[in-house]
Homo-oligomer: A and B are copies of this chain.
Amino acid sequence: MSTDETTTSAPHSGPDMDPEEFRRYGHQVVDWIAEFIAHPERHRVLPDVRPGDTSARLPASPPEHGEGMDAILRDFGDVIVPGLTQWNHPGFLAYFANTASGPAILGEMLTAALNNNAMLWRTGPSATELEERALDWLRQMMGLPAGFHGTIQDTASISTLVAVCAARERVGLDIRDQGMSGRDLPRLRLYCSREAHSSVERAGIVAGIGRAGTRTVETDAEFRMDPAALERAIVEDLAAGVKPFCVVATVGTTSTTSIDPVPAIADVCERHGLWLHVDAAYGGAAAVVPEMRWVMEGCERADSLVVNPHKWLFVPMDLSALYARDPQAIRRAFALLPAYLVTSEGAGVTNLMDFGPALGKRFRALKLWMTLRYFGAQGFAERIREHLRLARDFAAWIDADPAWERMAPAPFSLVLYRHRPSGMADDALDAHNERLMDAVNATGEIFVSHTRVHGRFALRLAIGNLRTDARTIARAWRILRDAAASVG
């Protein structure tokens, strides 16, 4: 960050930064952010650094005496920023692209200054009520029926862990109180498709279900869970004395954005009394577009559902929304009340600490509320619709070029593809496309990632940043073709 060398800060003697000093540097930081947003081309998306490069430029020990903000901001600009992958860059087309939008950044600034911790209603009355209201707005925008109650978690991994713990408790084996080992309990089984996010398996690990307790169900040719295979697995497990307890369906898988057939899966869950959790961390956002509402079909029958506003709803990390049809099922799995947290409001209010593994509760709702208001429901729909359109365009270019190949359907804003030059042997394609990806990312102009589809290396192009536009995608297509020619 370039700072005004003539205003080197005096040694700070007060207990905290003086308000006027905060004002001065706050304006400077805001100006830096405005420039950062206005001129993304000044920053590489994927930095040109090797492991240890940044560490080598950071002192091994903390300073004994305080330093001035000028020096700190200068190092931020010189040492930290050039070593960062720029997730808020329009050329970020990797993983799931996302946005720290203007109103959301303003919200984060206020959240930081207020430092509210709404663990109890009493410790953040308006923060608690705003969280419930903002999540209810989002529920309406996605077309989930009334009655689904939302709480904010940090990430989808934690939302899914919360759902798995609630499901585990609803089995009625008193696991919350009695635990899982040293008792005559059946093995518990959690189901998801082989395309599900690793957070499902990780939730199983944390919750004592174990990797073997998470059974991956086969998928069809379009990477969607096969409900018949799910039912066969459940019946087989029941016959073997295993206790099925939860199914995780995905609306928009991470690898290919496939959509599990939630209505048929809900039928299976109903027949066997299983908790249905839907991972719509990415895909749920699309439901704010009326003509995409269909992706949520069947989700109204889920017990819980996660959607991540920090993925495709324009708020920065972290903010994951967990909806539950019976919020008391979550409370039953988690609530504990030590003496020092008893308040006179008693059970008449929502205490957010009851709805997840963490006690402390950052005021995340503020940025969501400000962003929902700034863009409005239609504004969200228009922007996501545009991302869908850009992905369709890119997919069409791939489809029209015989040297390139689509690797999976693209129901959302992610396209999977690879370069397939005529004459290249099949078994050379993986290495070729990996080299191609490295060449593309080395430009620093765009950043694309990869996955494996049916075992084959596939490139991913994900659209989700608000400043990614038609020109960005056209440039990406040119960079990809240039790289293909050069690594050919």
Contacts and interface: CB of A to CB of B under 8 A. Distances in A.
Contact of A88 (B27, B114, B141): B114
Interface string A124-136: 1111011011001
Interface in A58-88: 58, 60-67, 69, 71-73, 76, 79-88
For this chain, the copies found in one complex come to: 2
A98 interface: yes
A260 interface: no
A317 B360 contact: yes
B158 A374 contact: no
B154 A358 contact: yes
A111 B109 CA distance: 10
A433 interface: no
Contacts of A344: 438
A210 to B, nearest CB: 3
Nearest to A121: B51
B182 A205 contact: no
A8 interface: no
Contact of A359 (B15, B138, B140, B198): B198
Interface string A465-480: 0110100000000000
A88 B115 contact: yes
A158 B357 contact: yes
A255 B31 CA distance: 44
A186 B182 contact: yes
Contacts of A418: none
B87 A357 contact: no
A183 interface: yes
A47 B211 contact: no
Nearest to A76: B110
A158 B63 contact: no
Contacts of A32: 110
B157 A65 contact: no
A99 B115 contact: yes
Contacts of A212: 177-179
Given A102-B16, A338-B254, A360 B87 contact: no
A488 interface: no
A318 B157 contact: no
B20 A126 contact: no
A316 B363 CA distance: 11
